[in-house]
Amino acid sequence: MKTKLYEQVFLEALRASRVLRGVVHKTPLDCSTTFSKLTGGRVFLKLENLQKTGAFKVRGAYYKIYKLPEDKKKKGVIAASAGNHAQGVAFAASRYGIPATIVMPITAPASKVLATRGYGANVVLHGSVYDEAYRKALEIAEETGATFIHPFDDLDVIAGQGSIAVEILEDLKDIDVVVVPIGGGGLISGIASVMRNLLGDSVKIIGVEPEAAPKMKKSIETGKIVEIPVKSTIADGLVTKKPGDLTYQIISECVDDIVTVSDNEIAHAIFMLLERGKTLAEGAGAAALAAVLSGKVDVKDKNVVVIISGGNIDLTLLSRIVNRELVREKRIMIIKGELPDRPGQLKEVLGILARARINILEVIHNRYDPMLEPGWARVKLIVEVPNPELIDELLSQLKSYGYMFRVEE
């Protein structure tokens, strides 16, 4: 009887896990009390954000290069990636002392471009999405003779990612649900191949895609691989226009369901991981947890493993996400009002805030708005609030002094 593809991947993943020991980290499988309480399940986080290069991709990249014949290694390797696969290939190539060229979309975060160069790779910026970078990489491979290392649609790469599942099962035998982000599908294909072979149908495997790029979900629903238009998303590592041939086949056979999450849900998961889990994740890395926290994956009374696939987030984006979530939780608020444009008026308002234990982050003072009455100024205050209920008390105090302020929605 012909061996199914996911059975081949399983056997290769067992070999990969042996090769990778001592090369990559065995990352923690952390049982989160916070997320367990919030969801009603027993939530285990597989922290691949703590992996070398900051993401799981180094597993598949290293195993693929390990299996190359020596004559091909000497000609070097080339890859296309939005960031994490780039760093994985660059790291693996540096371990073998061979040249690496990485084609990255021009939209790739600067932090990932710099990190990839830091591992010694030559970086070529081309195209706005992965698929355009991919075509350029193939051209360069044809010209130079370098071996193209596919980020997901390669059996050895998939098997390398499958070593994550081998590690999980070494630490936890009783698993009801595994939730995995989907970009091109290599990660979930590797994990699902191992889980299906060792646990059978007793485990539910759920994939998660951003709403901006649901290529695998659309392909599974259609019954064939389809190419979709993609939109911008903070989960840039999960953006491709279409799945791979191998990953589509494995996911069709092994994955129970695919759900999508919004950027708002992903941002909330990043924030919660950072504040409550003391864990830094990028958008793609937090997508699986976003599906769990939003209730799109039922985990009540179940043991659920959530893959936190990477932590290489751009710090400027992280800053925006943190501030935005603080505003959503009303821990940072904006109040605004008008006051007479006379010396001492603003000082008096700020004194009232200080006595109310309200920390002021920013003052925006505008006396030039033509809609204002002459002799008045509009003031907007961005404030840090220890307790949102204090705002009502503050507004009352301001009113008692004749200052009419309100919360900006």
For 287-332, the pLDDT digits (tens) are: 999 999 999 999 999 999 999 999 999 899 999 999 999 999 999 9
Range(s) of the chain covered by CATH 3.40.50.1100: 5-56+154-324, 58-148
What is the pTM (predicted TM-score) of this model?
0.91
- Write out the residue limits of the CATH 3.30.70.260 domain(s) in the chain: 330-407
- 301 near 253, Cβ under 8 Å? no
Domain 5-56+154-324, CATH 3.40.50.1100 — does that match? yes
Q: What is the pLDDT of residues 191-206, one digit of tens each?
A: 999 999 999 999 999 9
- pLDDT, one tens digit per residue, over 116-169 is 999 999 999 999 877 788 899 999 999 999 999 999 999 999 999 999 999 999
In the chain, DSSP finds a helix count (H) and a strand count (E) of: 16, 14
How do residues 16-28 score in pLDDT, each as one tens digit?
A: 999 999 999 999 9
Residues in contact with 51: Cβ distance below 8 Å, sequence separation at least 6, in sequence order: 24, 25, 27, 58, 59, 310
According to CATH, the topology of domain 58-148 is Rossmann fold (3.40.50)
DSSP string, 76-108: -EEEE-SSHHHHHHHHHHHHHT--EEEEE-TTS
CATH superfamily entry for domain 330-407: ACT domain (3.30.70.260)
Query: Distance between CA 75 and CA 41 in Å, rounded?
Result: 50
Q: For 22-88, where are the E strands, in sequence order? A: 29-32, 42-47, 77-80
Band (3; pLDDT cuts 50, 70, 90): low
Three-state secondary structure call for residue 387? coil
> How many Cβ atoms sit within 10 Å of the Cβ of residue 251?
24
Q: How would you list the strands of the sheet with 332-340, edge to edge?
A: 359-366, 376-384, 332-340, 404-407
CA distance 103 to 69: 23
| CA distances in angstroms from 61 to 58, 81, 232, 252, 370, listed in the order given | 5, 12, 26, 24, 61
Known active-site residue 262: no
Q: Of residues 46, 57, 64, 218, which has the active-site annotation?
A: 57
CA distance 242 to 224: 11
Beta strand ranges found along 211-358 (DSSP E): 257-261, 303-308, 332-340
Residue type, 341: D
- What is the number of other CB atoms lying within 10 angstroms of the CB of residue 388? 12
Rounded to the nearest angstrom, the gap between the alpha carbon of residue 325 and the centroid of all alpha carbons in its chain is: 16
The string of pLDDT tens digits covering residues 42-56 is 999 999 999 999 999
Instruction: Give the integer Cα–Cα distance in Å for 193 and 171.
Output: 18
Is 309 catalytic? The answer is yes
